[in-house]
């Protein structure tokens, strides 16, 4: 086989894996969808903040009505995905079965497309053996198959954006042209307007690029500043809209005080009788009474007071969330033994192997000293940090799962990529 034919084959390989991944996800969507009554499938998946705001947008009410009530403008969620979902509602109806399947299909496409930038990143960091292993692993990654059906949210899109940001960062390091710096900054701005949590890895990426460029030409530092400035500039119109509506600076989202309160409130204190349960009805009712600004101010104040008065308990809760975010539950061994489903036990095992593979993958990168440790460690180290102090869920961790799949692949293929002699071989 000639070198040209071999290269053509590898150009098509990630797309072939992408198609296989899409088949798995779509098959799961239709299989699970047929287990649910149509009346429920048309409404239940949209009974969340994104669905409520998207419905309001599609009906011409604006970015408002967070809980399907006329509660006025909101900055509770980032704007990109609600606007995207509102387009689906306009075309296929608000809260219809057709809208659900179209939204879920797009989620499947977003998730499957991860295979392509993931393949390119793995090939750049290691070799084609690792690239094929990483993309194949993503094709069968359980959460990547489950989430497109389970969550009509930006989760699958955020996973695609996260790995694309990593690929773009590596590409920019190799091709530091002005046009690429501009596109990099604009793309970062779009990602922040989709999921601001992705901003946790931005300092790591910028620092890595700066250190890399410093060894080549110092003039690239100013181009890097331009990229960061453009990323912020893309967010400015939305920030101005929020300032006009709420008379305060809200860069993208406003809900952080509530999320912190949800993870740090008297319900976790067994000696307190101030609060013994949290219900959606009560919170929505209070939100409607106070309005978004006053509601979030109150919840933020309560959260700060609880953290100050219960520092040891809050640290204990944070440690439980660390375990839950990586293993699926804060008591994984107990829940594994109690599980009455082989599939649930498989998921516990998968989560454990993913965690071990992530650690080993980072160690192999550190030992290899190939210069990619900093951007890779950003995902398992920085991205989940905010969730340790708010709420834990494998769904919330999902945007960094493609990077975890890459680290697992690096750990599994270590003997094939640790030496330059095996580069770009299968």
DSSP-derived secondary structure for 6-61: HHHHHHHHHHHHHHHHHHHHHHHHHHHHTTS-HHHHHHGGG-SHHHHHHHHHHTT-
The string of pLDDT tens digits covering residues 218-260 is 678 889 999 999 999 999 999 999 999 999 999 999 999 999 9
pLDDT on residue 414 = 87
Radius of gyration in angstroms for the set of CA atoms belonging to the chain, rounded to a whole number: 22
Residue 64 has what DSSP assignment? B
For residues 190 and 234, the answer to whether their CB atoms sit within 8 Å is yes
Q: With 50 as the cut, is the pLDDT of residue 322 above it? A: yes
Measuring CA to CA, which residue among 42, 13, 77, 21 is closest to residue 250? 77
Whether residue 92 has pLDDT greater than 90: yes
pTM exceeding 0.75: yes
Give the whole-angstrom CA distance, residue 403 versus residue 165: 11
Residue with token string 């013994």: 276
Q: How confident is the model at residue 415 (pLDDT cuts 50, 70, 90)?
A: confident
Dihedral pair phi/psi, residue 73, rounded to 5°: -60, 155
DSSP 390: S
d(CA 408, CA 329): 21
User: Which pLDDT score, from 0 to 100, does residue 416 have?
Assistant: 74
What is the extent of the structural domain holding 290? 3-422
Helix orientation angle between 80-92 and 155-174, rounded to the nearest 10 degrees: 130
Total structural domains in the chain? 1
The per-residue pLDDT for 10 is 59
pLDDT at 423: 43
How far apart, in whole angstroms, are the C-alpha atoms of residue 67 and residue 328?
28
Beta bridge partners, 409, equal none
Pair of tokens at residue 172: 């920019």
CA 243 to chain centroid, in Å, comes to 26
Alpha helix segments (H runs only) across 195-341: 202-214, 220-246, 256-263, 280-290, 292-309, 311-327, 332-338
- Output the CA–CA distances (angstroms, integers) from residue 303 to 261, 310, 382, 386, in the order listed: 5, 10, 22, 14
Q: Can you tell me whether residue 254 is helix, strand or coil?
A: coil
Instruction: Give which of 263, 280, 404 is closest to 324, Cα–Cα.
Output: 263
**pLDDT at residue 58 in the model:** 96
pLDDT in tens, 354-367: 999 999 999 999 98
Closest CA to 131 of 146, 121, 144, 142: 121
How far is Cα 335 from Cα 341, in angstroms, rounded to an integer? 11
- Provide the 3-class DSSP secondary structure of residue 73: strand
Taking the C-alpha atoms of residue 116 and residue 171, their distance in angstroms, rounded to an integer, is: 14
Residue 25: pLDDT band with limits 50, 70, 90: very high
Q: What is the dihedral of CA 260, 351, 330, 304, to 10 degrees?
A: -10
Q: What is the pLDDT of residues 104-118, one digit of tens each?
A: 999 999 999 999 999
Measured between alpha carbons, how far is 346 from 231 in angstroms, rounded to an integer? 40
Mean local confidence (pLDDT), 287-315? 93
Q: What is the pLDDT of residue 254?
A: 94
Q: How far apart are CA 6 and CA 12, in angstroms?
A: 10
**What's residue 424's pLDDT?**
40
Q: What is the mean pLDDT of residues 114-141?
A: 95
Residue range 311-337: mean pLDDT, rounded:
92
Out of 1-10, 17-26, 218-227, 272-281, least confident range: 1-10
**How far apart, in whole angstroms, are the C-alpha atoms of residue 426 and residue 418?**
14
On average, the pLDDT of the chain sits at 91
Q: How confident is the model at residue 394 (pLDDT cuts 50, 70, 90)?
A: confident
Write out the two tokens for 354.
Answer: 């993913």
For the chain, the straight-line distance linking the first and the last C-alpha, in angstroms and rounded, comes to 14
H or E element, residue 391: none
Handedness of CA 339, 344, 348, 349 (dihedral sign): positive
Measure the CA–CA gap between 284 and 47, rounded to whole angstroms.
Answer: 13
Residue 159 has pLDDT above 50, yes or no: yes
């Amino acid at each position: 086989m000639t070198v040209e034919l071999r290269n053509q084959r590898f150009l098509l390989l990630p797309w072939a894996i992408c198609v296989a991944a899409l088949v798995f996800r779509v098959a799961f969507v239709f299989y699970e969808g047929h287990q649910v009554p149509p009346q429920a499938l048309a409404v239940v998946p949209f009974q969340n903040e994104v669905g409520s705001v998207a419905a309001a947008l599609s009906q011409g009410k604006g970015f408002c009505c967070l809980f399907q009530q006329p509660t006025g403008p909101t900055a509770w969620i980032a704007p990109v995905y609600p606007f995207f979902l509102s387009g689906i509602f306009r075309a296929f109806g608000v809260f219809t079965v057709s809208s659900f399947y179209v939204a879920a299909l797009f989620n499947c496409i977003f998730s499957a497309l991860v295979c392509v930038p993931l393949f390119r990143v793995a090939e750049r960091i290691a070799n084609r053996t690792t690239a094929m292993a990483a993309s194949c692993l993503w094709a069968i990654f359980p959460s990547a198959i489950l989430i497109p059906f389970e969550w009509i949210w930006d989760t699958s899109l955020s996973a695609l954006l996260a790995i694309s940001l990593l690929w773009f960062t590596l590409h920019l390091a190799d091709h530091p042209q002005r046009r690429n710096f501009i596109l990099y900054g604009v793309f970062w701005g779009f990602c922040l307007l989709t999921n601001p949590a992705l901003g946790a890895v931005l300092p790591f990426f910028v620092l890595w690029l700066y250190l890399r460029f410093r060894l080549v030409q110092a003039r690239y530092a100013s181009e890097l500043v331009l990229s960061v400035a453009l990323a912020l500039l893309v967010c400015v119109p939305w920030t101005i809209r929020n300032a006009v509506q709420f008379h305060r600076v809200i860069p993208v989202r406003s809900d952080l005080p509530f999320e912190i309160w949800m993870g740090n409130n008297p319900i976790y204190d067994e000696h307190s009788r101030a609060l013994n349960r949290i219900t959606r009805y009560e919170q929505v009712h209070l939100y409607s009474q106070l309005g978004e600004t006053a509601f979030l101010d109150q919840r933020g104040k309560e959260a700060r007071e609880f953290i100050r008065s219960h520092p040891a308990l809050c640290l204990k809760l944070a440690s439980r969330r660390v375990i839950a975010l990586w293993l699926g539950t804060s008591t994984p061994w107990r829940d594994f033994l109690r599980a009455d489903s082989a599939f649930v036990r498989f998921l516990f095992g998968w989560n454990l192997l993913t965690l071990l593979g992530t650690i080993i993958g980072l160690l192999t990168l550190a030992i290899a000293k190939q210069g990619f440790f900093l951007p890779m460690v950003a995902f398992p180290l920085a991205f989940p940090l905010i969730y340790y102090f708010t709420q834990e869920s494998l769904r919330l961790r999902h945007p960094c799962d493609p990077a975890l799949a890459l680290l697992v692949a690096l750990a599994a293929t270590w003997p094939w990529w640790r030496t330059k002699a095996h580069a770009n071989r299968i």
